[in-house]
Amino acid sequence: MAGRTTDWRATVARVIGDEDAFAAEVAEHLGEPYADVRATVRLWLLLHAVTATTTDLEVVVGSLRARAQGPQDDRPERPIEAATLDDLYAWTIRETGGAAPDARTVVGVQQAAGAIAARSGERLVLFLARLAFGRRHIWDRCVAEAEAGRLDRDVLTDLGQWLLLWTELTSLAVTDGYRAAEREILVRDAEARRAALDELLGVVTADPTGLRRTRRVASRFGLDPDRSYRVVVVAPADEADPTPDRPGIDSGDLALLASRIGHLLGAASVAAEGAGSGIRLPAVLAMRDRVVILAGADQAVLRRVPEVLDRVLGNPADSGGRTRWLAIGSGHVDGVGPLAAALADVVDAVRTAELIGRRGWIPDPEALAVERLLLGSPELGEIAVARELGPLLADERMGEELVETLQVFFDAGENMRETARRLHLANRTVAYRIERIESLLGGPLDGELRSRLTVALLVRRLHAG
């Protein structure tokens, strides 16, 4: 049988009869729109006239099977641009000049048919089932013809083997084209979702036009514009670097950490979201040199953030008791309009927390309001420290010791004895230093002077981390 040729066009055309009537029967049986089925049947019958022997098709099937086992990002050899099956039918007619197509053209057309099904949102299993039923319907008619003595049994045997081989070829080629197009769609959808998140979280706007656009973007990607949200910003410590062989946490490292954190928080992956789906919460992404988490304010998943960060970035018990991350959450953000401003506020709070050496979980940026106020202008902070503490620091012999004594003195509630105990000094030594401080500053440590000194000492301590 191998290598034998048969006039399949004539055989199939005779048992099918009128193509439109045949397509109508298939459509009725499957309960599908006639136009869709007719386009499929026309194309299918055209391809069955391929100028190839069974041996040729076996070689093609082997090549397709090997291809299916290769890299997933491989692309069809002959990409064909066609928006519908009717367009693909017309392309095939033009390509072949009305003659029977060769095997290479058949594979390319079937791959293109799979891509069209993917782009139109048709499920692969149903598309393949439609093709399979068309072949089975032809086979049933041919069997009836053979039983009536109008079709030679040898021709029926040849046709059966051909249809089995053709089924395998179709499944491989159509699936190959479908999966390739699906991967492209997923990539485009993922890029669109990321662009939407970048806009929602990165563009601060207060004008009506900008707010309307923000609401449209949110709605387009499945987010309720009026829902309450929370954002969390995570800053991994240097020792949480997932690639220690390449020192420094770069954008690739952050993307990897975001993926791991998202997995444990239940964030949907690109593949899980599928083509055409919107933004699902929680969303975890690398952004602004940090890992950003966007969730609904009512999502219990936020309570698990510290536990998840310990698992991904390192548990304090395994790192000398030192937390390997800093994370700050926003308060409730009402609607999508203020999201970008809320994120900017949290990012600023993270910068302040990093500056003063804070780590771990901080549930609200307001917890750092004083520190952020005092560190808002480093230049003014330095001026304030120099203005209030400059006379003490100008003492080259005891300047630092005087400042330290003043700090502990205030921390101890201005109790001389407690100050001496904390500094491991004699009471007399502390008394001398306080007198020296008052002398250099020009007055007793009370009233407005005490308030100004307290602020200056805090600024100095914050600058020192």
Instruction: Clarify whether residues 354 and 401 are in a common domain.
Output: no
Instruction: Clarify whether residues 216 and 154 are in a common domain.
Output: no
Instruction: Clarify whether residues 440 and 349 are in a common domain.
Output: no
At 77, phi and psi to the nearest 5?
-65, -35
Q: What is the pLDDT of residues 361-403, one digit of tens each?
A: 999 998 888 888 888 888 888 888 888 888 998 988 888 999 8
Instruction: Clarify whether residues 167 and 249 are in a common domain.
Output: no
> What is residue 270's predicted lDDT score, i.e. its pLDDT?
44
Half-sphere exposure of 242 (CA within 13 A, CB side): 16
Instruction: Clarify whether residues 345 and 388 are in a common domain.
Output: no
Residue at 198 is within a domain: no
Q: What is the pLDDT of residues 441-452, one digit of tens each?
A: 888 888 888 888
Residue at 119 is within a domain: yes
Domain count, the chain: 3
Instruction: Clarify whether residues 423 and 364 are in a common domain.
Output: no
Instruction: Clarify whether residues 42 and 89 are in a common domain.
Output: yes
> What is residue 459's predicted lDDT score, i.e. its pLDDT?
85
Q: Any idea what the CATH number is for the domain that residue 453 is in? A: 1.10.10.2840
How is residue 262 annotated by DSSP? H
Compute the average pLDDT of residues 8-26: 79
With 0-12 / 13-18 / 19 or more C-beta atoms within 10 angstroms meaning exposed / middle / buried, residue 49 is middle
Residue at 190 is within a domain: no
Instruction: Clarify whether residues 350 and 337 are in a common domain.
Output: yes
Residue at 195 is within a domain: no
Instruction: Clarify whether residues 325 and 433 are in a common domain.
Output: no
> What is residue 67's predicted lDDT score, i.e. its pLDDT?
82
Instruction: Clarify whether residues 25 and 150 are in a common domain.
Output: yes
The domain boundary, picked from 129, 154, 185, lies at: 185
Instruction: Clarify whether residues 33 and 144 are in a common domain.
Output: yes
Q: Any idea what the CATH number is for the domain that residue 269 is in? A: 3.30.70
Q: What is the pLDDT of residues 145-195, one digit of tens each?
A: 888 888 788 878 888 888 888 899 999 999 999 988 888 887 888 888 889
- This model's pTM is above 0.85: no
Scan for tokens 């012999």, then name that residue: 397
Instruction: Clarify whether residues 381 and 364 are in a common domain.
Output: no
> What is residue 381's predicted lDDT score, i.e. its pLDDT?
82
Residue at 331 is within a domain: yes
Residue at 2 is within a domain: no
Residue at 1 is within a domain: no
Is residue 355 within 8 A of residue 375, CB to CB? The reply is: yes
Residue 387 belongs to what domain range? 377-463
> What is residue 2's predicted lDDT score, i.e. its pLDDT?
42
> What is residue 71's predicted lDDT score, i.e. its pLDDT?
67
Distances (CA, A) of 376 to 148, 212, 302, 314, 368: 94, 32, 29, 31, 12
Query: Residue 431's pLDDT band (boundaries 50, 70, 90)?
Result: very high
